[in-house]
Amino acid sequence: MTVVYEDNHLIIVNKTSSEIVQGDKTGDIPLSEIVKQYLKEKYNKPGNVFLGVVHRLDRPVSGLVLFAKTGKALPRLNEMFKNGEVKKTYWAIVKNCPEPKEGELVHYLVRNEKQNKSYAYDKEVKDSKKAILDYKLIGHSQNYYLLQVNLKTGRHHQIRCQLAKIGCPIKGDLKYGFARSNPDGSISLHARRVSFIHPVSKELIELEAPLPVDNLWNGFEMIG
């Protein structure tokens, strides 16, 4: 865990691909508890430390995760996420070049709880939720393509599912059709940037997460 930004109301960290944001059945210590411990030690706080989880990243995904440090910031951030006021940009490594090289994807996703997987449909079906994202090809290497993705909705496994639907599963993502897993169990999806108006100070916050320490991420020839 690396702290990218912190003030009285917020803390934003760069999550590694092995960390979970909140506790699950694995029993592994979640990122929320690691951040709480960090705050407890840094500020020498007695008792329980307040920390609000406002969004999540899938465990195999790396990048920026935002937490609320105060009861004042938490409901405001929840509302901002709900209303799409927090702009999130992801980078994804895929094997196949998308056609066209940039565009908007609109699908209807159905989540299968048992499989912990979402399925994308071109038209609305029973229990589906509309999913929208913009993507753009921003780099290429000898074997892979680098896409920039801007989420317009926040659905379960949205980027993974929608890119797979157009024939571009994310590198390492066996669940959505990539042929091989990554050696460290990650998938090559990184929450690269976040931009929003601070819920208390009303300042514009724009942050970028360093890329994972992996030669693959640094081997791209950038376009434009």
Over 90: is that where the pLDDT of 180 sits? Answer: yes
Query: Which position has the higher pLDDT, 188 or 47?
Result: 188
Distance CA 33, CA 130 (A): 33
Domain boundaries, position 7 = 2-222
- Residue 41 pLDDT class (50, 70, 90 cuts): very high
CATH of the domain at 194: 3.30.2350.10
Structural domain tally of the chain?
A: 1
Over 80: is that where the pLDDT of 26 sits? Answer: no
* Residue of 91, 210, 92, 86 lying closest to 154 (CA atoms): 86
> What is the rounded radius of gyration, in angstroms, for the C-alpha atoms of the chain?
18
What was the pLDDT predicted at 68?
98
